[in-house]
Structure 1
């Protein structure tokens, strides 16, 4: 799963959310993107929400959401919504420098609302008055989120996030298991050319141990890839492992967690010792080839 996969979740939320749900979605996006610089304002007490659905403190910007169920309702009532905010919003937020109407009318604003906003700009020249919709929410908020924040904002995406079995690697796993003259055991060690890379990625001693004992068998991977009838298939395997590594890295996992995710990806559902040992051989092969994990900056390993 990549960040671009969440675009459909954004589109679905924008197209279906209205009223309070739209306000909550905007506030969650803003809070994730801006952190403590953003204050969510909720109705409470005699002053309600102080004519605000959120405040960006560094710029003294007040956000007001309006997301009715239909474009016709927006056209009919948007001017009233704006006039309901002014001038009361000024009494609640005397330091306000900018006021933004966040709305769900993707086609733009009607002319009567545009005219009303122009009147307000003339009446309050010291305040920047703007509107924002889909592009602002997408470019300035949604696209700024990390993968973990995406999953927090769109929890249903977790249901679609699965460990994908890499079927293209199954024959290679079988070849490694079958070709090893002796089983990969705790005493099977060879020279480890990328020890600095292991240290640079802050892999634990246990992780280094498992990778180190797989190293003597990476020649099996070389022979398998060289003998493939279609050379492009080797690139497919390389690309899939690289993509999985980048996906796990972008989620913010530790090096050991990334290694565990790659192991599950390559090994598949069979967690028996032969499959696990063979999976480590494949992972170390691409580790040594500099296709996965980060290289020490001072060394040109590849």
Structure 2
């Protein structure tokens, strides 16, 4: 995979991990592990009164038990502590010597709170023969990016490559711009130009930086098309449309990368069409530079 393809799939995986909860999160994690380790990774399902052995998956060579936790309502201190301690002790009793490692797989992208880490440290000190770890979404993402390309294609469709960016022409961009024309909302509000350093100011990931950098290589095609558009006000209307879409996404308290994925979809990039995907990157890059998507860095701000 080149850098563009890797960044594309990285954002797709991250977006899935952000949006999946409860059983969907567990299923996605187990699907990745099965693809990586084949028969060496076994799903563990409840079996009547025997339950599931306090495990969602088991990696045979490492004798590692995995337990997933991704509550829809977010982490709550008492529930989280009870979950960690109850599942660990339950798995320890059920698996005995067949559990040499225990991994708590969770959905908090910023990591576990200190009180949960303190509990894990306590359990580790009380059980030195068992290696205890926690995996946050970033670790799962790294695992998923180790998957063969054909598997990533099955999950998320074909991703653009650096060569696709280089070969992009006017026509696919024109098709997307025409499709978006109906979504542009007219407004007299002035959209100030922005700086590319908003990437860092808005805590956008390296994957987004790679994709926007790729898009910048062809944003001149977007500028050329809009300059020659039959309606001379369309570019301003489209800029305002992106601005309003961003404000709506911001009100939902999404993280910056998640908003980027929704903006990419808004730009019309079809998952089944590589030219459409690359065109959406060029359009996003163009308006990222020129209209109020994400927050402007204050005067004098520097990385």
TM-score (norm 2): 0.49
Structure of greater Rg: 1
Task: Give the number of the structure with larger relative contact order, counting CA–CA contacts within 8 Å between residues 6 or more apart.
Answer: 2
TM-score using structure 1 length: 0.49
